[in-house]
Structure 1
Amino acid sequence: MPIHSSCCKKSHDLAKYLASKPADILKECPAYTAFGRCPQGVKCRAGSCHTLPDGKQLVNEELASKDIVTQTNFLSNDIRKALRAKKYDFSRSDEQRKLLDAKKNNYGGDDSGLNEMSAENKRFDPETRPVKKKPIDFIGKTYLAPLTTVGNMPFRRICKEYGVDITCSEMAMAGNILKGTNGEWALLRRHVSEDIFGVQICGNNFEQLVNTSELINNECNVDFIDLNVGCPIDSVYEKGCGSGMFKTPNKMYGIINAMNNVTDFPMTVKYRTGISIKQPIAIKVTQKLDEMGIQLGIVHGRSRQQRYSKLADWDYIKQVKESSKHMQIFGNGDVFSWEDYWEKMEETKVDGIMIGRGALIKPWIFEEIKERKVWDITSNERLELLKKFCNYGLEHWGSDDIGVNHTRRYLLEWQSFLCRYVPVGLLEVLPAKMNQRPPAYYGRNELETLMASTNVADWIKISEMMLGPTPDDFVFIPKHKSNSYEG
C-alpha cells in the first residue's frame, strides 16, 4: 500500500517550512564550500549559501563534478546484509579456529599450553606463524592515542594539521562491527589527511576479534589494527575486554596470534602494566607478543587499578623496552610538553611515544615537539581552532539541526579538557606538568578567562560563538571527569 503525505505527521509544505525556519547560524556551509553541494538541502543551518527563495538548491558544478572523496571505510549494503545473514566468508578465521582447536586437543582440551615455545627456535609453531607483512615505519613518529568520544575525525584532522604522524580510530567494539552497526562502523572512518591510520578494536572472544580483523582487512582502508588491552572502565573490564583480557592470558595470546594471521597489514597491541600495581606483567606480555611477530606494542605506564591516578611509571616502560628483542615499543602516559617527550625518548630508548590527554588539552603539542619550543598561543588563535573544528564537525555530522547538535556536544566534551590549559605566558615555571592542577586565574583578556572556566555554562557560551544559540531544552553533562586529577 503506498504511503501518502496525508499519513505523515510532518509538514510537507516547503514554503511554510522555509518561512518558519530559524535564522542561519553560519555564513558559509562547510559541505557546499568543500564539495559544491550540500546534502542537507533546505535543512542546512547555513542554507542561504545554496538555497534559493523557492527552496531550489544551488550546485557548484565545477566542484561537484570533481566528485571529491575525503572519507573511506563506509559499509556497503551488500556486506551489511551478508554479515547480518551470517553469510560473510570468514575462511581465514575458520582456519585459525581449526588450528587453535587442534592445539587445545594436544594439551588436553584447555588453553594452558597454547603458547608453549619450541625449544629449537623459541617461536610459534610454523603453521600458526604469521605471513610476512610489509612493516610500517613507526619508529620516531608521534602518535595520537585512540580516544573514546573525543578522538573523533574532526579532532584528528585538527591534530594532523598540527603535525601528528600516526592516528587511530576511537575504540570500536568488535561484536558491533560484526553486526554491521552503523554507529560502530562510523568510528572506522578515515579522512584523506590521515596518512598512517589504524583502527582500534575491543572484544573478549576468538570469533569476535579474529572475524572482525579479517573483515577489516578485507573491507577497510587501514594501515594497522590495534587491539585494546588497556581500557580500565568497569563495564569493559568485567566482560573480559580491554585490560580484562589480562585475566586469561593464554586465551589472549591465542586470539592475538590468530588476529595477526588473518591480516595482511601489521597488528599492534596497546596494554597497561598489568591489573594490579603490585603485579606488573607487561614485560612477560611483551616477550610473548614479540615471539608472535607483533610489530608494535604500546605500553601505558599504569596498571588497570591505577586508572589515571599516580604518575605513569616510565622506569618500568624502560624495562619493557629492554625486554623486547624485535617488537617496537611505544610508551604512553603524562607527556605534556616537548621537554617531556624528548626527555623520555632519551631516557627510555622507546621507539616512540603515544600522546592522549596532552593532545586534548593542547593539540598543538605535536608542533611543539617537532620544533622543540613552546607556543604561547593566543585566545584568538584558540578560538579559530575551535571554529575550524566546528566546520569539520558540520562537514562530518551534517549541517542540519541534528549535525549542529552532534558538533556542539563533541565540542563541549573537548572543552572539558581544553579548559585545563594554562597559557604559557602566565606560567611561573616551565614546562607545565600533567598532574599539576591548574590554578584559577584571570586571562590576559576576557576570552582567555572564559576559556579557563570549568563551568559547563561557560563552555556553552563558547560553543554559541560558532554554532549559534542552544535550544531552550538543551542539557549537557560531560562524559569524561577530566577536571579530576585523580579519576
Structure 2
Amino acid sequence: MEDVTQTLTKPALKIGPYAVDPPVVLAPMAGITNVAFRQLCQEYGAGIYVCEMITARAVVERHPGTMHMMTFGEHEKPRSMQLYGVDPKTMAEAVRIIVGEGLADHVDSNFGCPVAKVTRKGGGAALPFKRRLFADIVSSSVKAAESAGVPFTVKFRIGIDDEHHTYLDAGRIAEAEGAAAVSLHARTAAQRYSGKADWSAIARLKEAVQSIPVLGNGDIFAADDALRMMAETGCDGVVVGRGCLGRPWLFGELEAAFAGREIPAGPSLGEVARVLRRHAELLIEHDGPTKAMRDLRKHMAWYFMGFPVGSELRRRFAMVSSLDELNELITHLDHDAPFPADALGPRGRQGSPGKVTLPHGWLDDPDDNLVPEAEDMHSGG
C-alpha cells in the first residue's frame, strides 16, 4: 500500500504543454480507436486518447480514407494522433502537414508494431534496431512539430526478440533527439501479444531516460494493474490497450483509482447493453449505419465476455446489421445479470510467439541508415 500511495502523489504527468491527469493514455489500436470509441472512453474519464495509427505517406498523399480517420470529436483535447513511417523526410512532411493545418495537438510515433507485413519491410518494431535511421526519423519529426509547439512522442517494444533488445538505445536516442515522452510495450516483437509483459524492462528504461516521461504498456486489465505498474517500475504514466476492449468504463475505474477513490463496481448486463447502444450511435454518426454496424460486430464478444448470454443470442449479436435489430436483441438480455468476476483478464488478440520476419540482412549493421521500402500499406494496419 505504501508504494501505491507514493505513486498517487507523484507529480502530474505532462506531455509537452499538456497535463495528463490521471496519467492514462489509450493506445492506438487499428480498427478500434476511431473517434466513436475514443468519445465513448472519454465519457468515463480524462487522459489522452490516441487515434488509430496513420501512415505518414497516406497523410502526404492525402488519402481520402486516411483523412476520414483523422477525425476528432468537438471536445477532444489534446487531439492525439499516431504516425507510422520509415522515411525521415516523409515523416517530417506528414508532421508539417498535421501541425501546419492544425489537424492534431500531439503526434505519437509507432515503432512497436509486430505484424509481419510491417516488420518484413523494416517497419514497426524492426526499425529501432537501425539506430541512425531511428534517430533521423525522431529528429526530423521533432523539428517539424516544434514549429507549432506540438509534442512528438515515441512508442516502441523491448526489441525484436530476446537476442536483439533495442529499447534502452531507443529511449536514450528519443530523449536526445527531443521527444516529449517515450512509451514502452514491455514485450518483444517475437512475443507479439502472448505471454506476460516484462515490467522490469519499464523500470530499466525509467532509469535510463531521466529528462522526459516514461510510460508503461502491457497487461493492464484492471485499475489495480495500473497502480501496481507505476509502483513497481516508477514509470510516469500507463498506456492501456486491449484491457479496455468491450470495457470503455475501465477509464472511469482508472480515474477513481488514481484519485484514491473506491473503484466502482462493474456494470450489470443491462448497463453494458446501454453502453453498447451508445457505441452504435457514435459509430453511426461517424461512418453511417451500414459501416457502423459492421464495425460494431467485432466488439460484441468483448462486451459480453463472461456474461450469461447464450450461444444463439451471441451469434445474432455478432451478425447485427441495423440499430433496430440491435435494440430488439438487447430486449432478450438478462439486464440484472451482474458483472462477472472472471471477465477482468486478457481480452483481444494474444496469439503465440514466433520468429519475426525481417528484410534480408536487416541485422547485419545497426548503424545502416538506408530507408527501407515499408510504407505501401493503408493507415490503421
TM range (shorter): 0.7 to 0.9
Show the 5 A alignment for 1:52-71: none
Which residue of 271, 277, 302 corresponds with 2:187?
302
SS in 1 for 2:197: coil
1:415 and 1:459 in contact (8 A); partners too: yes
For residue 169 of structure 1, report the CA deviation from its aligned partner.
0.9
Which residue of 262, 272, 286 corresponds with 1:382?
272
- The one-letter code sitting in structure 1 at the alignment partner of 2:81 is V
- The one-letter code sitting in structure 2 at the alignment partner of 1:362 is R
For residue 167 of structure 1, report the CA deviation from its aligned partner.
0.9
For the pair 1:364 / 2:223, whether they are aligned, the reply is no
Distance change in 2, residues 1:484/1:209 (3 Å): closer
- The one-letter code sitting in structure 2 at the alignment partner of 1:381 is E
For the pair 1:151 / 2:29, whether they are aligned, the reply is no
1:61-120, Cα deviation, whole Å (9 max, x unpaired) = xxxxxxxxxxxxxxxxxxxxxxxxxxxxxxxxxxxxxxxxxxxxxxxxxxxxxxxxxxxx
For the pair 1:280 / 2:139, whether they are aligned, the reply is no
SS in 1 for 2:220: coil
Q: Which moved more, 1:332-341 or 1:273-282?
A: 273-282
1: CA distance between counterparts of 2:317 and 2:64?
A: 33
RMSD of equivalent CA atoms: 2.5
2: CA distance between counterparts of 1:332 and 1:164?
A: 18
1:299-355, Cα deviation, whole Å (9 max, x unpaired) = 000011110011111011111111111011100011011111111111111110010
Which residue of 121, 134, 145 corresponds with 1:239?
121
2:301 and 2:314 in contact (8 A); partners too: no
For residue 411 of structure 1, report the CA deviation from its aligned partner.
0.7
Show the 5 A alignment for 1:226-265: 226-263=108-145, 264=148, 265=150
2: CA distance between counterparts of 1:456 and 1:245?
A: 41
- The one-letter code sitting in structure 1 at the alignment partner of 2:284 is L
For residue 196 of structure 1, report the CA deviation from its aligned partner.
2.0
1:229-254, Cα deviation, whole Å (9 max, x unpaired) = 01111111122221131242211111
Q: Which moved more, 1:148-157 or 1:213-222?
A: 213-222
**Residue in structure 1 matched with residue 290 of structure 2 by the alignment:** 405
For the pair 1:212 / 2:94, whether they are aligned, the reply is yes
For residue 375 of structure 1, report the CA deviation from its aligned partner.
2.0
**Residue in structure 1 matched with residue 82 of structure 2 by the alignment:** 200
Report percent identity of matched pairs. Answer: 26
Which residue of 319, 332, 338 corresponds with 1:460?
319
Show the 5 A alignment for 1:69-88: none
Distance change in 2, residues 1:326/1:453 (3 Å): farther
2: CA distance between counterparts of 1:310 and 1:243?
A: 17
1:143 and 1:355 in contact (8 A); partners too: yes
For the pair 1:449 / 2:331, whether they are aligned, the reply is no
The structure that is strand-richer by fraction is 2
Show the 5 A alignment for 1:427-438: none
- The one-letter code sitting in structure 2 at the alignment partner of 1:404 is P
Distance change in 2, residues 1:289/1:329 (3 Å): same
With the length of structure 1 as denominator, give the TM-score of the two structures: 0.60
1:139 and 1:352 in contact (8 A); partners too: no
2: CA distance between counterparts of 1:178 and 1:485?
A: 33
- The one-letter code sitting in structure 2 at the alignment partner of 1:449 is V
- The one-letter code sitting in structure 1 at the alignment partner of 2:23 is K
For residue 385 of structure 1, report the CA deviation from its aligned partner.
0.6
**Residue in structure 1 matched with residue 216 of structure 2 by the alignment:** 331
**Residue in structure 2 matched with residue 122 of structure 1 by the alignment:** none
2:152 and 2:181 in contact (8 A); partners too: yes
For the pair 1:189 / 2:71, whether they are aligned, the reply is yes
**Residue in structure 1 matched with residue 176 of structure 2 by the alignment:** 291
**Residue in structure 2 matched with residue 391 of structure 1 by the alignment:** 281
Which residue of 341, 347, 351 corresponds with 1:486?
351
For residue 218 of structure 1, report the CA deviation from its aligned partner.
0.5
2:27 and 2:241 in contact (8 A); partners too: yes
- The one-letter code sitting in structure 1 at the alignment partner of 2:309 is T
2: CA distance between counterparts of 1:163 and 1:405?
A: 29
SS in 2 for 1:327: coil
For residue 221 of structure 1, report the CA deviation from its aligned partner.
3.4
- The one-letter code sitting in structure 2 at the alignment partner of 1:378 is S
For residue 486 of structure 1, report the CA deviation from its aligned partner.
3.0
Distance change in 2, residues 1:410/1:461 (3 Å): closer
For the pair 1:346 / 2:236, whether they are aligned, the reply is no
Task: Flag the structure with larger Rg.
Answer: 1
1:350-395, Cα deviation, whole Å (9 max, x unpaired) = 1100101111131111111222314221111111111111111121
2:181 and 2:214 in contact (8 A); partners too: yes
SS in 1 for 2:19: coil
For residue 297 of structure 1, report the CA deviation from its aligned partner.
0.4
SS in 1 for 2:211: coil
2: CA distance between counterparts of 1:295 and 1:138?
A: 13
2: CA distance between counterparts of 1:150 and 1:201?
A: 16
1: CA distance between counterparts of 2:98 and 2:121?
A: 23
2: CA distance between counterparts of 1:357 and 1:409?
A: 20
**Residue in structure 1 matched with residue 4 of structure 2 by the alignment:** none
2: CA distance between counterparts of 1:208 and 1:314?
A: 33
**Residue in structure 1 matched with residue 44 of structure 2 by the alignment:** 162
2:187 and 2:193 in contact (8 A); partners too: yes
SS in 2 for 1:386: helix
**Residue in structure 2 matched with residue 44 of structure 1 by the alignment:** none
1: CA distance between counterparts of 2:40 and 2:180?
A: 27
2:293 and 2:322 in contact (8 A); partners too: yes
2: CA distance between counterparts of 1:454 and 1:289?
A: 49
1: CA distance between counterparts of 2:121 and 2:303?
A: 32
Q: Which structure 1 residue ranges, 5 or more long, are not aligned? A: 1-132, 398-402, 423-442, 471-481
- The one-letter code sitting in structure 1 at the alignment partner of 2:291 is H
Show the 5 A alignment for 1:30-109: none
Which residue of 205, 219, 222 corresponds with 1:320?
205
